[in-house]
Amino acid sequence: CLIPFRAFRHNNKPEFYVRIQTGVYDKHVIMNIMKTTIRLCLTFVFLLALSASGDQDQQTAGSPNILLILADDLGYGDTSSYGGTDIKTPNIDRIVESGMKFTRGYANCPVCSPSRAAILTGRYPDTVGVPGVIRTHKSNSWGYLSQEFELLPLLLKRADYHTAAIGKWHLGLEPENSPNSRGFDYFAGFLGDMMDNYYTHRRHGINYMRINEREVDPKGHATEVFTSWAIDYIRGQSESTQPFFLYLAYNAPHTPIQPPEEWIEKVLKRERGMSRKRARLVALIEHMDNGIGDVLNALENAGVYKNTLIIFTSDNGGKLGVGANNGPLRGGKQDMYEGGIRVPLAASWPGHIKPGSVSSVTVLGMDLFPTICNAAGTNPPESIDGKSILPLLTGNPAPALDERTLFWVRREGGLRYQGQDYYAVREGKWKLLHNSPFEPLQLFDLENDPGETDNLANSNRRMFKDLSIKLRSQIQRAGGVPWFKP
């Protein structure tokens, strides 16, 4: 408060100097000094408050926090924002409405592990050793995540991010393929393929729940456990100026369809006439949506929501046998038809992505890898297959993503597959597929036949041959990558 005495001037001399030299204590001079002092003190208090607010909102002009939410087996039509009329998902809808909705978002595979491998490597899953589901029993496991390729969290760590994976891992039980070994600073979740029970968190009687490398046995529904861990992580990281990347992979709505009983009753009370089978799945999805809402609220309460890029998607389409809704699309989980691979996809980032925007550009899970890298201010390897959609999200000129030739593959055991691969390839509006290793290839014009009902394999032999050659080339490319541990 001595500052105004020295700074305020009277007759071109500091007021304090005039008072000392003359011994005159003019009341107007003193009042001016006091007013100036008060103004500067209030300004100082305001700047302190502004600084504190800036700390709470975690440098909104700096590197964004990144939250990637992955659902498990969520059908294309099983959110209200994607046309579901018997389901209410206000929190997933909140992400969709506050950012960009993709009508042609795709998983890289119609089953779990390959899609996750694609997201975390930015490559086609069969080229990183994961053409099929990695399971806890070696005799029925169809993939080994190659050590040759760096995962997304490693690149983000170099950009000074703290990285965390919470929820379902499903990319191997080997020590070298644990989340911590593959670049995540923090892991809290389930290492295995699926849970036999959402409350006991076991698979074949074995506990695969971990916090980092330590076995834990938390109580409660898995969705609620993962949500709670995510909230705790966000709260802890919000106290740091270091940006974070949180990969939140829910187990829901994968089988067993086991929502809390009160959620089933809530759905049945609202949706008169709905079968209990459908109500159970709807309840499991709405229960997950509620958890997502709690996570979004945690971002807001921690003051970091405005500086967080949020991406939501699923690892494959919904499973028809448990009552999933894949909208107007043919097929479901395990199928190469659209219902097995097309999924909800949305991204939100306040101030960067226009709310309510919609894109019909074809985007795959592997495209999230370079997108997240670019948002974090780091460059992905040039050799990856994925393409960044960050320019598209932020309203800038985007690459011609729809001109790509895109591939899907799955290897599986069982009577239907016998350890064989089956594929799909898409270029523009054309899609070539076989839905099991022992079915003939089918050709569809997705622009005029989005339901994939009219097989043009015999009537358009030129396109059939062209896509067959490209598919063969991709099969050769991936063929040299081991899908089992060397």
pLDDT at 486: 82
> In this structure, what are the phi and psi dihedrals at residue 346, rounded to the nearest 5 degrees?
-150, 150
pLDDT at 55: 44
Structure confidence by residue, pLDDT tens digits, 86-110: 999 999 999 999 999 999 999 999 9
Is residue 408 helix, strand or coil?
Answer: strand
Show the tokens assigned to 271. Answer: 């949706």
Structure confidence by residue, pLDDT tens digits, 148-201: 999 999 999 999 999 999 999 999 999 999 999 999 999 999 999 999 999 999
The residue that leads in pLDDT, 372 or 138, is 372
pTM of the model: 0.88
pLDDT at 397: 85
Q: What is the 3-state secondary structure (H, E, C) of 36-80?
A: HHHHHHHHHHHHHHHHHHHHHCCCCCCCCEEEEEEECCCCCCCCH
Structure confidence by residue, pLDDT tens digits, 115-144: 999 999 999 999 999 999 999 988 899 999
> In this structure, what are the phi and psi dihedrals at residue 70, rounded to the nearest 5 degrees?
-120, 120
Residues noted as catalytic: 112, 170
Dist. CA 61–CA 78, nearest whole Å: 35
The DSSP output letter for 342 is B
Q: What is the 3-state secondary structure (H, E, C) of 102-160?
A: ECCEECCCCCHHHHHHHHHHCCCHHHHCCCECCCCCHHHCCCCCCCCCCCHHHHHHHCC
